[in-house]
């Protein structure tokens, strides 16, 4: 009976080990596919998208009339038509020479880093070439990578200008905070027509005063029948204003005109809500609007970059740590573990063998657990696996040495004693691991999460399996 | 007891020598930063077919006289190779192209291949993201140790733990500097390992002393 129980545990261990190390293969469309989830690797083991942001050295073309005022609707005119009308083309660099200095490059790098943090990118590398101002950003490859890249090169210059005179009325310095809000849209009818996403801009004290003045000055004088009744809400997609007004303001981001509008009433709260897209019930559209608004909020929240950048290079480069190298590390760990386990058998004979069976079982379950708990593995994560295996070895060794030393006590008492002695000694390590899990940096979290699951498994697995194995063996 | 004091003294003298030597090496030569973190040059060769890293390694060994290079596959099709070295001259680029053309029967033209410059990554940028996690965990651990081992003297435990963590990390950096182990991706895992190791040794030591004290009290 005793042998049968041990054999059952042994077979279960062999099964789990086979699944963990080789997987479960099933035939799918004339090929064998492993149904066991693969490890999820981080940037240092998998590869990264490398984006080079280069300082924009190009010129922008502006067309001015004879009085030196910028003409906005002359882009399609031929050279002859321009000269007929007395317009002149002017080439000005996007970045002034005096703005291109190390301090501004560093500021740009800091802004990009802040944007990455606010976009919840938890693993990235940023390097600055102080001589050219070029910034190399490395981020992981996933579904949101392209969206993130598009936000990195934006200058983030926000302006509300007078549509006619182009006078700047409000700029980035007047913004206190930008966030995203959404709610049901009931502006067009009594019933809700879907969810609408707003970009909520909160202005500073000075900015609020400016906004109050603007909304006093740029008022709709004549309103169409179906015009919106929303006072503080301005629809960013509503480019064709149904109202006629004498004076309008234009919202600009990075010198791109978003829309022109006038206000229904004075805004005294210092808050302005711009609707992003139309109200929608479609989840995909809603998500798109939220992403667009969030990205805009991230850009505006972190200030304006002192220099304009363009995406110079954008490519996915695999890690220089190849699968072969990872295999070598695995074999080394496996080799050392085998030697340590053999030593355990030599020293403790039958109990040592049971300890080894238990140890292999834990190692296999641990490798499966890492895969199914979606822990991303980095070099630190691999270290977490190694430390967990060491801790488990020390724990099993402690149990066996206690059993050998305290022959008067029962197996249960010895295991309880081993738990007390071992876990009291790793409480500071456990504290560190919990902090690392929430460390805010993906690499340290990877280590923390691996170790967290490792210690939880050591505590539970040994209480069940190791305990059972030794009890069965002791039950003569 | 006298023997133990001698042993401890010897350990302190060795640690002091290692730390002083480490400081001297850092002051004169600095750390040996790994190539991927250094300012470097990179070329990309679009081979347009499967290739083995080992074969490219043979080529780079010939061109760069066994100097350190990083070889990486580029993009999803993995048919382009990126070769990174500290410096890549026009002549070396031409040699690389020539040898790759020879090996893979490609028709790459050296003039069409650009030597890209990658700026260095600052050591502070490597360490900065870890400061919060290490700082907070150290504070919490020290607080725990002060409470748990208050019978051994809370202030004594506090000072010993802080000094222990600091000395172990300084010694580690000194060893890294002296042995010229490249500082880079592998450095943080080593720091974590030494940090946790130090904590384990200290806790083990305090726990043993507390058990002994409790036994004496009984």
- May I ask the CATH class of domain A156-304? alpha beta
Q: Given A127, A432, A443, which is nearest B141 (Cβ)?
A: A432
Alpha-helical regions (H) of A2-50: 2-21, 43-46
Interface test with B, best of A383, A417, A428 (most B CBs within 10 A): A428
- Contact of A431 with chain B, judged by CB distance below 8 Å, is answered with yes
Closest among A243, A267, B60, A17 to A9, alpha carbons compared: A17
CB contact under 8 A, A383 and B189: yes
How far apart, in whole angstroms, are the C-alpha atoms of residue A270 and residue A210? 9
List chain B residues with CB under 8 Å of A129.
117, 119
pLDDT of residue A258: 82
Rounded to the nearest angstrom, the minimum Cα separation between B145 and chain A is 8
pLDDT at A233: 56
Burial class from Cβ neighbours inside 10 Å (0-12, 13-18, 19+) for residue B13 reads exposed
3-state secondary structure A354-421: HHHHHHHHHHHHHHHHHHHCCCEECHHHHHHHHHHHHHHHHHHHHHHHHHHHCCCCCHHHHHHHHHHH
Reported as a pLDDT band with limits 50, 70 and 90, residue B114 is very high
Q: Which of A53, A116, A320 to probe by mutation at the B interface, max B CB count within 10 Å? A: A320
User: pLDDT above 70 covers what percent of chain B?
Assistant: 98
Q: Which residue has the tokens 């001589």?
A: A131
Question: What CATH class does A40-58+94-155+305-319 carry?
Answer: alpha beta
When the pLDDT of each residue in chain A is averaged and rounded to a whole number, the result is 87
What is the model's pTM?
Answer: 0.85
Which residues of chain B lie closer than 8 angstroms to A136, CB-CB? Answer: 118-119
Search chain A and give the residue with CA nearest B161: A428
Give B-chain residues touching A439 at CB under 8 angstroms: 130, 132-133
Task: Confirm or reject contact between A333 and chain B (CB < 8 A).
Answer: no
Choice between A54 and A79, residue whose per-residue pLDDT is larger: A54
Q: pLDDT at position A476, please?
A: 56
Q: Which has the closest alpha carbon to A360: A4, A19, A37?
A: A19
CB A153 within 8 A of CB A310: yes
User: Per CATH, the architecture of A2-36+322-474 is what?
Assistant: Up-down Bundle (1.20)
Of the candidates A355, A349, A358, A381, the residue with the CA atom closest to the CA atom of residue A454:
A381
Report the C-alpha gap between A324 and A127 in whole angstroms. 29
Q: What is the dihedral of CA B123, B129, B130, B134, to 10 degrees?
A: 130
Task: Judge whether residue A230 has pLDDT over 50.
Answer: no
How far is the C-alpha of B129 from the C-alpha of A330, rounded, in Å?
28
> Residue range A165-178: average pLDDT?
89
CB contacts, 8 Å: B71 with chain A: 320
B-chain residues near A318 (CB < 8 A) = 72-74, 78
Look at A104-108, A299-303, A358-362 and tell me which has the smallest mean pLDDT.
Answer: A299-303
In chain A, where the domains are located? 2-36+322-474, 40-58+94-155+305-319, 156-304
CA-closest candidate to residue A236, choices A266, A213, A256, A265? A256
Mean pLDDT for the stretch of residues A423-429? 95
Highest mean pLDDT among A53-67, A318-332, B86-100: B86-100
* Ordered domains of chain B (ranges, CATH): 14-33+122-217 (no CATH), 39-118 (3.30.70)
Element (DSSP H or E) covering residue B19: helix B2-28
Residue B69 has pLDDT above 90, yes or no: yes
Q: Give B74's contacts in chain A (Cβ within 8 Å).
A: 315-318
Q: Any chain A CB within 8 A of the CB of B143?
A: no
Q: Is A127 on the interface with B (CB under 8 A)?
A: yes
User: What kind and span of H or E run contains A425?
Assistant: helix A411-425
The percentage of chain B sitting over the pLDDT mark of 90, rounded to a whole number, equals: 83
- Of A122-126, A284-288, A470-474, highest mean pLDDT: A122-126
Tell me what the mean pLDDT of segment B106-116 comes to: 93
Residue with tokens 């202005």: A203
For residues A65-74, average pLDDT: 73
Distance of alpha carbon A400 from alpha carbon A344, whole angstroms = 9
């Amino acid at each position: 009976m005793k042998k049968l129980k041990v054999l059952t545990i042994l077979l279960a261990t062999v099964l789990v080990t086979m699944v963990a190390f080789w997987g479960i293969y099933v035939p799918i469309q004339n090929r064998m596919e492993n149904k066991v989830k693969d490890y999820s690797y981080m940037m240092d083991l998998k590869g990264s998208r490398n984006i080079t942001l280069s300082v924009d050295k190009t010129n922008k073309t502006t067309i001015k009339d004879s009085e030196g005022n910028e003409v906005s609707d002359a882009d399609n005119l031929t050279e002859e038509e321009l000269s007929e009308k007395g317009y002149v083309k002017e080439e000005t660099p996007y970045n002034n020479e005096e703005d291109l200095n190390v301090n501004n490059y560093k500021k740009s790098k800091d802004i990009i880093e802040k944007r990455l943090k606010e976009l919840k990118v938890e693993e990235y590398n940023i390097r600055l070439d102080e001589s050219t101002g070029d910034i190399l950003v490395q981020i992981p490859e996933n579904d949101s990578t392209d969206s993130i890249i598009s936000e990195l090169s934006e200058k983030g210059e926000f302006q509300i200008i007078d549509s006619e005179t182009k006078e700047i009325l409000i700029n980035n310095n007047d913004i206190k905070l930008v966030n995203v809000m959404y709610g049901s849209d009931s502006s067009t009818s009594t019933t809700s027509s879907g969810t609408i996403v707003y970009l909520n801009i909160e202005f500073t004290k000075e900015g609020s005063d400016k906004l109050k003045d603007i909304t006093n000055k740029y008022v709709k004088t004549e309103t169409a029948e179906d015009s919106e009744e929303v006072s503080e809400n301005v629809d960013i997609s509503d480019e064709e204003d149904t109202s006629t007004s004498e004076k309008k303001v234009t919202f600009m981001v990075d010198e791109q005109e978003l829309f022109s509008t006038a206000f229904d009433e004075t805004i005294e709260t210092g808050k302005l809500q711009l609707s992003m897209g139309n109200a929608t019930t479609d989840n995909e559209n809603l998500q798109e609007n939220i992403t667009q608004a969030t990205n805009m909020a991230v850009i505006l929240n972190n200030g304006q970059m002192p220099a304009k950048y363009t995406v110079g290079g954008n490519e996915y480069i695999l890690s220089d740590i190849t699968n072969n190298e990872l295999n070598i590390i695995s074999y080394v760990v496996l080799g050392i573990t085998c030697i340590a386990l053999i030593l355990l058998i030599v020293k403790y004979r039958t109990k040592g063998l049971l300890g080894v069976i238990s140890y292999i079982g834990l190692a296999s379950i641990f490798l499966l657990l890492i895969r199914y708990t979606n822990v991303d593995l980095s070099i630190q994560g691999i270290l977490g696996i190694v430390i967990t295996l060491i801790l488990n070895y020390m724990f099993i060794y402690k149990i066996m040495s206690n059993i050998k030393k305290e022959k008067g006590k029962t197996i249960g008492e010895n295991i309880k004693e081993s738990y007390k002695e071992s876990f009291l000694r790793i409480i500071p390590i456990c504290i560190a691991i919990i902090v690392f899990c929430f460390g805010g940096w993906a690499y340290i979290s990877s280590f923390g999460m691996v170790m967290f699951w490792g210690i939880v498994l050591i505590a539970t697995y040994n209480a069940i399996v190791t305990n059972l194995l030794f009890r069965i063996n002791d039950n003569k | 007891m006298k023997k133990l004091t001698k042993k401890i003294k010897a350990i302190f003298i060795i640690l002091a020598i290692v730390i002083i030597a480490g400081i001297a090496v850092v002051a004169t030569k600095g750390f040996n930063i790994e190539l991927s973190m250094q300012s470097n040059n990179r070329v990309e060769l679009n081979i347009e077919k499967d290739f083995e890293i080992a074969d490219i390694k043979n080529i780079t060994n010939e061109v760069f006289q066994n100097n350190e290079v990083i070889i990486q596959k580029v993009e999803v099709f993995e048919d382009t190779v990126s070769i990174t070295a500290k410096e890549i001259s026009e002549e070396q680029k031409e040699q690389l192209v020539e040898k790759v053309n020879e090996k893979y029967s490609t028709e790459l033209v050296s003039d069409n291949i650009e030597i890209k410059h990658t700026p260095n990554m600052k050591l502070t940028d490597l360490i900065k993201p870890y400061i919060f996690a290490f700082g907070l965990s150290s504070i919490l651990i020290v607080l725990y140790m002060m409470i748990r081992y208050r019978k051994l003297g809370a202030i004594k435990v506090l000072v010993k733990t802080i000094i222990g963590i600091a000395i172990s990390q300084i010694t580690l950096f000194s060893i890294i500097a002296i042995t010229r182990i490249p500082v880079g991706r592998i450095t943080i895992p080593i720091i974590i390992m030494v940090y946790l190791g130090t904590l384990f040794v200290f806790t083990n030591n305090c726990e043993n002393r507390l058990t002994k004290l409790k036994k004496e009290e009984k």
